[in-house]
């Protein structure tokens, strides 16, 4: 038997339990005592306190992150960008100031960054699909400044670099995974618009990302200005919503849509390329059109680099010549045997033509010889008169030599012609 005290205590406990169970299944505030199907759930849920009328809801909003907090979480992918705690390069701040003026750089929380402008909305563009106004100085430094201060222009250049590869090697995207953020041309305007709408801390991170684009370009050299044929290039979308011919009434200064141009052309570009010391060739070459700054990639044939020959290495012996096939011997022409009965030579042939009677030769009459001409008579030579001798003044005239008179040549009497056939006698014989 249980003691009476224990029975009383157990009874009181049962009554209390029954009372609590009945209350939990009843609606509060009087009225019907039917159990509510949601009564147990509402009773077990934690009540939500109502905000006090004296508390400003705006004061409970999350605070804007400071620069250090933004540096650690403002990137889309920290595995690509890291924490980016390094300082913005002072040389880039000076470059932006040079081309945009002193107001182009702003300082907040002791940190200086570009103020940013949308290049595709600037006045002075030459064509409807131009990505920005012309490159007035036609220099790569001006291109660097536009990349640093124009998020849409800088993202376009980053996209172009992501599509370039070293001839015979890897792509720039493989070597720089952070270019993945700019890879898609359709995302250029979205990235730039997010930067323009971002907080100062987020804009600082964007400024550092754009400075990496410039650092990558600085590795290329041989800056020049000239005509080139594009392999691919960028321009603004024209005939679609969000393009150059579409104005957003809610945000007229919104960034326009970019895309790869379907048209390739020859134009003037500021170009830079990858180089090697002591070697000539084309491994990677990019350019920026002087008319509107659009990025363009150019093709490169794989350079043929001949390494220097190792001294002392003998060359590979050549293949010995194969002896040629002897030709067929030439048969000498047959000699013509001497003729036995030879044809007469017509020019010396005196045989009369058959059927003709030769004429008799005329008798030759003797002709008397012509008389010999008489010989010329010899004449006495005439001695020339030397003329008077004029003595030179102050000189003694030389005695004139006396010469013997010239001998007379006897005249030879011409012989008298004799009769024909009679010999003549030489008188001098």
For residue 161, being part of any structural domain is answered with yes
Going by DSSP bridges, is the β-strand pair 285-289/266-273 parallel, antiparallel, or unpaired?
antiparallel
How many independent structural domains does the chain possess? 1
For residue 4, being part of any structural domain is answered with no
d(CA 203, CA 71): 10
For residue 315, being part of any structural domain is answered with no
Q: Is 381 helix (H, G, I), strand (E, B) or coil?
A: coil
Beta strands (DSSP E) in 174-265 are: 221-229, 232-236, 258-260
Residue 314 has pLDDT above 50, yes or no: yes
Provide the β-strand partners of residue 102: none
pTM: 0.56
Instruction: Grade residue 97 by pLDDT with cuts at 50, 70 and 90.
Output: very high
8-state DSSP, 177: G
Burial class from Cβ neighbours inside 10 Å (0-12, 13-18, 19+) for residue 230 reads buried
The b/e string for 321-341 (b: 16+ C-beta within 10 A; e otherwise) is eeeeeeeeeeeeeeeeeeeee
Virtual torsion, Cα 176, 182, 185, 189, nearest 10 deg: -170
Kindly report, residue by residue over 191-208, the tens digit of the pLDDT: 999 999 999 999 999 999
Residue 307 has pLDDT above 90, yes or no: no
Instruction: Grade residue 130 by pLDDT with cuts at 50, 70 and 90.
Output: very high
Instruction: Grade residue 220 by pLDDT with cuts at 50, 70 and 90.
Output: very high
Residue 303 has pLDDT above 50, yes or no: no
For residue 352, being part of any structural domain is answered with no
Residue 94 has pLDDT above 90, yes or no: yes
Quote the pLDDT of residue 357. 57
For residue 237, being part of any structural domain is answered with yes
For residue 403, being part of any structural domain is answered with no
For residue 186, being part of any structural domain is answered with yes
Average pLDDT over residues 24-29: 40
Instruction: Grade residue 395 by pLDDT with cuts at 50, 70 and 90.
Output: low
Instruction: Grade residue 39 by pLDDT with cuts at 50, 70 and 90.
Output: very low
Per DSSP, the chain holds a count of helices (H) and strands (E) of 10, 8
Domain limits for position 87: 68-297
φ and ψ at residue 173, rounded to 5 degrees: -65, -35
For residue 354, being part of any structural domain is answered with no
Quote the pLDDT of residue 47. 45
Look at 289 and 354; give whichever has higher pLDDT: 289
């Amino acid at each position: 038997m249980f003691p009476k005290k224990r029975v009383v205590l157990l009874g009181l406990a049962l009554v209390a339990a029954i009372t609590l169970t009945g209350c939990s299944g009843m609606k509060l505030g009087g009225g019907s005592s039917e159990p509510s199907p949601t009564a147990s759930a509402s009773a077990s849920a934690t009540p939500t306190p109502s905000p006090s009328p004296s508390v400003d809801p705006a004061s409970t909003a999350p605070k804007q992150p400071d620069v250090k907090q933004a540096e650690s979480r403002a990137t889309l992918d920290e595995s690509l960008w890291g924490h980016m705690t390094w300082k913005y390069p002072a040389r880039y701040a000076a470059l932006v100031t040079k081309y945009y003026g002193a107001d182009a750089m702003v300082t907040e929380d002791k940190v200086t960054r570009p103020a940013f402008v949308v290049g595709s909305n600037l006045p002075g563009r030459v064509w409807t699909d131009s990505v920005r106004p012309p490159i007035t100085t036609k220099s790569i430094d001006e291109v660097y400044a536009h990349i640093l201060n124009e998020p849409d222009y800088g993202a376009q250049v980053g996209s172009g670099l992501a599509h370039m590869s070293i001839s015979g090697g890897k792509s720039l995207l493989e070597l720089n995974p952070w270019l993945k953020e700019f890879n898609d041309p359709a995302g250029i305007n979205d990235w730039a618009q997010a930067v323009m709408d971002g907080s100062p801390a987020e804009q600082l991170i964007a400024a550092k990302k754009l400075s990496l684009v410039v650092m990558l370009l600085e590795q290329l050299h041989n800056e020049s200005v000239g005509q080139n044929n594009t392999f691919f290039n960028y321009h603004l979308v024209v005939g679609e919503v969000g393009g150059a011919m579409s104005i957003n009434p809610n945000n007229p200064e919104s960034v326009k849509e970019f895309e790869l141009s379907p048209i390739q052309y020859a134009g003037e570009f500021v170009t830079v390329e990858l180089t090697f010391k002591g070697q000539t060739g084309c491994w990677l070459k990019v350019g920026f059109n002087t008319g509107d700054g659009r990025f363009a990639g150019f093709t490169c044939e794989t350079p043929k680099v001949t390494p220097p020959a190792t001294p002392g290495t003998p060359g590979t012996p050549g293949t010995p010549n194969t002896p040629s096939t002897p030709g067929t011997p030439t048969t000498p022409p047959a000699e013509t045997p001497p003729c036995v009965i030879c044809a007469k030579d017509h020019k010396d042939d005196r045989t009369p033509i058959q059927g003709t009677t030769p004429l008799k030769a005329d008798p030759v009459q003797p002709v008397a010889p012509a008389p010999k001409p008489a010989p010329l008579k010899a004449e006495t030579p005439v001695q020339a008169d030397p003329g008077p001798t004029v003595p030179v003044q102050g000189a003694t005239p030389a005695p004139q030599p006396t010469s013997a008179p010239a001998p007379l040549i006897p005249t030879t009497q011409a012989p008298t012609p004799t009769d024909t056939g009679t010999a003549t006698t030489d008188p001098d014989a």
